């Protein structure tokens, strides 16, 4: 059995984001041989990340059985995590520039800009697995405290539609 390693520098989780252009995203939109393409925002300093796929269910009972019946319905897909704030990543390198790396996480969320994302589960070398989709940043809530004197924020992506899984090329 093989495991998906995310613990060595060659295998770190990578999250790449770009502004949705109205088309279905493909891997080449985000990177070439592991290097992020122009106008793509690479989200650094993730503390954790959770990829959720939750099918809805419909349950019913009948008088002729002692157990419930269930069928699945549409899924709710979302991503959540926490990140240490970097000024350029969070506020953007050129707010108003229109691209993900210009806008930053805060502006993409605040302005409700639809994004495409690609998450490399253990980097983006050839054959590394990824999950990709489209959606909107959510749950952005920067916080600082005496116990945690560096700004951190939860971050979420509310996924619009299905995930696509693949292997990096």
Structure tokens at 87: 């000024």
What pLDDT digit, counting tens, does each position of 3-59 carry?
A: 888 877 777 899 999 999 999 999 999 998 888 888 899 999 999 999 999 999 999
Ordered domains of the chain (ranges, CATH): 10-167 (2.40.30)
User: In the 8-state DSSP scheme, what is residue 37?
Assistant: P
Q: What is the pTM of this model?
A: 0.89
Mean pLDDT of the chain: 92
Alpha carbon separation from 100 to 11, 31, 49, 122, 141 (Å, rounded): 24, 14, 20, 22, 19
Q: Say whether pLDDT at 85 is over 80.
A: yes
């Amino acid at each position: 059995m093989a495991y998906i390693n995310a613990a060595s520098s060659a295998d770190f989780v990578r999250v790449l984001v770009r502004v949705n252009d109205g088309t279905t995203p493909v891997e080449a939109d985000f990177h070439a041989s592991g290097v992020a393409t122009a106008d793509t925002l690479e989200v650094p300093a993730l503390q954790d990340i959770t990829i959720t796929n939750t099918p809805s269910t419909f349950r019913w009972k009948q008088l002729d059985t002692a157990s419930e019946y269930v069928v699945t319905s549409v899924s709710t897909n979302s991503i959540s995590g926490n990140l240490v704030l970097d000024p350029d990543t969070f506020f953007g390198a050129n707010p108003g520039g229109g691209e993900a790396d210009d806008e930053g996480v805060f502006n993409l969320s605040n302005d409700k800009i639809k994004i495409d994302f690609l998450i490399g589960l253990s980097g983006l070398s050839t054959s590394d697995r990824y999950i990709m989709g489209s959606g909107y940043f959510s749950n952005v809530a920067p916080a600082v405290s005496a116990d945690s004197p560096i700004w951190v924020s939860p971050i979420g992506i509310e996924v619009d539609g299905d995930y696509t899984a693949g292997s990096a090329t």
